[in-house]
Amino acid sequence: MNARVTVIIPATEGADRIARLVAYWHGRLVRIILCDGSPDGFSIAATKPTLHLRRPGSTWIDLVADGVARVQTDYALVCDTDVFVTPTAIGSAIAWLDVHPGHAAVQGRHLRAIHGADDVQFEPCEILGGLQMVSAECPSVRVQQIFDPYLHVVTALHRTETLRDAFCGFLRGTCISARALAELLLAMITAVNGKVRVLPVPWCVREVSHSGETTSPTPSLLTLLDDPDAADQIDRFLGSAIVHLMNRADVPQGDARTSVGSALDVYLNRYLPRLHRHRLLPAVERAARSLTHRGYPSDDHEDLVAIRAALLGAVVQA
């Protein structure tokens, strides 16, 4: 059986993490494209990726774009070297996308892994939008819906066309260098292209250094908004979203501008105060939340067992 999913791994450092992630995917029915932005190139001595692209000095955005341009499968996803997507959930996502052509992407519940000296603990990733779906029929409505609450779709399983629209069509070779803007633009383009389904299953685990660590783009986005030198990036970001909504969904320019502006307002109004509250929560309270609440798995879930083994350096069975 031919692989139907390509895993794109953009990386500029961390050879051990890269080798660990490639080994995790080895033996599974996926193609692996390692987009190598390190100065001297990574040497993967054991398990090899399907394709190793050497792009010294490239940004995260350009690394992903180069990988996306070489995808030959129907579906693709982006994995940083600290992210482990569960193969079981990918199978469920493929099955959903196969029979729901109106959906652009599928994902599930996100977890954090706190890596100790000899064990790994899992906890819910609270910053995401939970089980909220992006389900409106109207693309202009979906652009706002994906931010209320925000669904972080970078690690979602996408139709390859959507990743090409975002990274090859709008992001590669532009003045946009801020990853925060790239992530939010991807969310908007995904919402324009179709609905987003969130399955009640463990989707991915991100390794973090401490309980409650967040990867939200909001702080860096707010910094950009206050930086007069970033005006070109902000304009390109908003203009790209407006143009895609106009061209893909045949929305008039004025309506597209209003929709995109309202979506960004929704995001900032919702998450700026929430982030301040989030930082004040005691770590013990966050860690005490049950993993089985609202679709989170127990620690002995087969996919989490495999991820724990990968993080601890044990042999991973495909």
List the pLDDT tens digit at each of the 318 positions of the chain.
Answer: 578 999 999 988 878 888 888 888 888 889 999 998 888 777 765 566 788 888 888 899 999 999 999 999 999 999 999 999 999 999 999 999 999 999 999 998 888 888 777 777 878 775 555 557 899 999 999 999 998 888 889 999 999 999 999 999 989 877 788 888 899 999 999 999 999 999 988 898 888 765 555 555 565 666 776 777 777 888 888 889 999 999 999 999 889 988 998 888 888 777 765 544 343 333 223 333 333 344 445 656 676 677 667 766 654 444
Q: What total number of domains does the chain contain?
A: 1
Nearest residue to 286 (alpha-carbon basis) of 191, 235, 214, 237: 214
Nearest residue to 5 (alpha-carbon basis) of 165, 123, 159, 140: 159
Give one DSSP letter per residue of 231-285, joined into a string: HHHHHHHHHHHHHHHHHHH---HHHHHHHHHHHHHHHHHHHHHHHHHHHHS-HHH
Residue 130 placed within a domain: yes
Residue 27 placed within a domain: no
Residue 296 placed within a domain: yes
Residue 46 placed within a domain: no
Q: Which residue has the tokens 């490239």?
A: 58
Give the span between the Cα atoms of 168 and 62, in whole angstroms: 9
Residue 193 placed within a domain: yes
Rounded to two decimals, the pTM is: 0.83
Which residue type does 5 have? V
Q: List beta partners, residue 193.
A: none
Residue 31 placed within a domain: no
For 225, the domain range is 83-89+101-311
Give the span between the Cα atoms of 132 and 129, in whole angstroms: 6
Q: Which 3 state secondary structure label does DSSP give 191?
A: helix
Residue 245 placed within a domain: yes
Residue 178 placed within a domain: yes
